[in-house]
Amino acid sequence: MDNVDHQLIIVGGGPAGLTAGLYAGRAMLDALLLEKAGPGGQVMLSHWIDNYPGFPEGISGLDLAEKMTAQAKRFDLEIKQATVSKMDLVGPVKTLYLEDGSSLTCRAVIITTGARANQIGIPGEKEFTGRGVSYCATCDAPFYRGKTVAVIGGGNTAVQEAIQLTKFADKVYVVHRRDALRATKVVQEKAFANDKIDFIWDTIATEVLGDQSGVTGLSLKNVRTDAPSTIKLHGVFVLIGTRPNMEMLPLDQLDNDQGFIHTDLEMHTSQPGVFAAGDIIYKNFRQVANAVGEGCVACLSAEEYLEDNE
């Protein structure tokens, strides 16, 4: 077969990508991990992670990312800061085109480009992210035991996570810009029956309020009357959807659902020699723990593919 630059290229340096890289290094594969920013991905935005196994006292997202990176580098994984602009994944040789105009070839690719939560874009949202503003109730609900929080959104995820939050918080406001939820009827019924949940209809958030301690409140506006209001609370969960980081992906070459890549249980995509793991794949739950497991499986599958095809 033709010469290539690397046996394996991993695109994305979050928990899934770093785990895949760790396994590639231990397997002594000629592997390269490409990450457009610093290794760690979205996990670095998490102020504190309480639900990752092995850290009984919890760990900051930054510290976890640094430890994962150091462990992968211990096995001589090559990590390069570069932005992939497009890919050609058809055939035995895959080509990745970089933003600087260069290109790289390889036999196998693991896509771990992740996803990002949709943001509202209001004052205070960015400033208090990780200090009261969250995009994952499954991740952060236990921090709000006995407190008051707001959920912004009206779809299945928002309403389901509002219900999840009531296991910890004393009061959960659901702020929705319409007068009816988009969640399925069965989910709505559970939420309406929960006396810890109050619905604020026809309303949008206009500013996250806070001080040195973190979030203290939320400014609101009724979209029908323009009447302003404020609620006091300790946390704001923005749950208005998640977008895949798919700009560089050849979606016409991969089976996907609105940019989220379909895989089988061994992380094979629809394209031979191409694997995917982490938040970029089509799934219900996006957690650090399952991203790590998927990165492991993706690399083992890639190693098996390379052995069978070289």
Active-site positions?
A: 136, 139-140
| Bridge-based pairing state of the strands 84-88 and 78-81 | unpaired
The DSSP H or E segment spanning 96 is strand 94-98
The DSSP H or E segment spanning 163 is helix 156-165
Cα-trace Rg, the chain: 21
Q: What three-state secondary structure class fits 1?
A: coil
Q: What three-state secondary structure class fits 93?
A: coil
The pair phi, psi for residue 67, each rounded to 5°, is -65, -40
Residue 228's DSSP bridge partners are 221
- SS (HEC) of 253-288: HCCEECCEECCCCCCECCCCCEEECHHHECCCCCCH
- Measured between alpha carbons, how far is 198 from 201 in angstroms, rounded to an integer? 10
